[in-house]
Structure 1
């Protein structure tokens, strides 16, 4: 992996305007383009049973997974898996193994009638990468990775997306703004 400045991970990046500006393919794509990078997305899709923790969140054992490896300047930058209940994405553009979803998966889900109104994220700031992760990200096994689990909910509380993103830890800065009493 070549050196790339860290991106600030903030909830504001998920606004529709930000995700879709300049035909970006989602929040990460928009952020990288803002920095002058030309990200390349390698996408695969598969209908499969999700891991138990994700199946419990999606409340189904039939899911679609979109696996993504994002390259910046020709080097691996981030990887992720987005899981969706198969009953809502079957035969939709989300099943296409191509990075053509302007606004990313959130905009695609909204177009299918499942707009996300709330999200919860769990960020693990530093952990040891799995062999598959250090190989895909082209880092040494001793390097730390950060993991973001993003859970997207519709207005009625249904989980329609669980995305797990992994990146070399030095590429992520989490930033939160909230009101205090």
Structure 2
């Protein structure tokens, strides 16, 4: 892709388009070093400001990272595949790690998570999903999940306090068999979940917790779990940066002859 002063787009956009195309087609593979600012200035006969605006576009898109003073590098993308339909599968029972830790350790990646548990008055949208009256409190397990040292997503799970008081859910540590199993043992087995996906820009708190670069959108995934009598007992809110995740659903038809 040639960069020309006769092009319709400004020079900085043309330079960004050229580099983006090289990243997309593999000419610049993951972790490859981009030409220096001086090299780009000389190649395209443009100012430092023009080059920096071009690189800024790619930084905002999450395609490159800045590692000063070494320069700019193509970002390695290893997406985390989210499969909401697998939530109620049987979890592996290991003494050290929960299902999340086990799954990604087996892939050769280094998983970590930070857990904090608090008792709060829920936001209005959480109280509505849990059918709570005014003044009812919830326990919230706040987790930041990391892969290879990078914060990958937020997973905050809300439970009516009256249901989980004095249970393992109140402890700020991994639950090997999973919070859903704990709820079952407490008499609140979930038989279905309602999934909702909202795509938006992150809040300042989400940007801070996930160390997001400028211009990175997030998907907000609400999963509300219900017992057999229709009682909502948990709302899990996952914040998934758009440059790090793929959401994968599997759908099965109940009848072979019916129309889609």
Normalised by the shorter chain, which TM-score bucket?
0.7 to 0.9
Q: 1:131 to 1:108 in 2, by over 3 A?
A: same
Q: Given the superposition, is the C-alpha separation of residues 38 and 104 from structure 1 closer, same or farther in structure 2, using an over 3 Å criterion?
A: farther
The aligned residue for residue 212 of structure 2 is 139
Larger Rg: 2
- The 2-side partners of 1:104 and 1:4 are apart by 28
Determine if the alignment matches structure 1 residue 118 to structure 2 residue 192: yes
**Residue matched to 2:35:** none
Q: Tell me the equivalent position of 2:33.
A: none
- In the alignment, is residue 107 of structure 1 matched against residue 185 of structure 2? no
8 Å contact kept, 2:94–2:176:
no
Residue of 58, 75, 80 corresponding to 1:7? 80
Unaligned 5+ runs, structure 1: none
Matching residue of 1:92: 167
Residue 74 in structure 1 maps to residue 149 in structure 2 = yes
Higher relative contact order (CA 8 A, sep 6+): 1
Taking only aligned residues, the RMSD between alpha carbons, in angstroms, comes to 2.1
Aligned equivalent of 1:39: 111
Q: Looking at secondary structure, tell me which structure has more strand per residue.
A: 1
TM-score of the two chains, using structure 2 as the length reference: 0.62
Q: Which residue of 1 aligns with 2:7?
A: none
Measured after TM superposition, the shift of residue 116 of structure 1 is 0.9
Q: 1:162 aligns with which of 230, 235, 252?
A: 235
Output one character per residue of 1:121-179: Cα deviation in whole Å (capped at 9) or x when no partner: 1112x321111111111111311111110100111111111011002112222222231
Residue 66 of structure 1 deviates from its aligned partner by 0.7
Aligned length: 177
- TM-aligned CA distance change 1:90 to 1:106, over 3 Å: same
C-alpha distance in structure 1 between counterparts of 2:102 and 2:184, whole Å: 18
Give the distance between the partners of 1:114 and 1:4, measured in 2 at CA.
39
CA distance in 1, matches of 2:111, 2:213: 22
Match of 2:200 among 117, 127, 136: 127
SS of residue matched to 2:240: strand
CA distance in 2, matches of 1:13, 1:34: 18
TM-score when normalising by structure 1: 0.86
Q: Distance in 2 between matches of 1:85 and 1:173?
A: 30
Unaligned segments of structure 2, at least 5 residues? 1-64, 66-74
Give 1:3 deviation, angstroms: 4.3
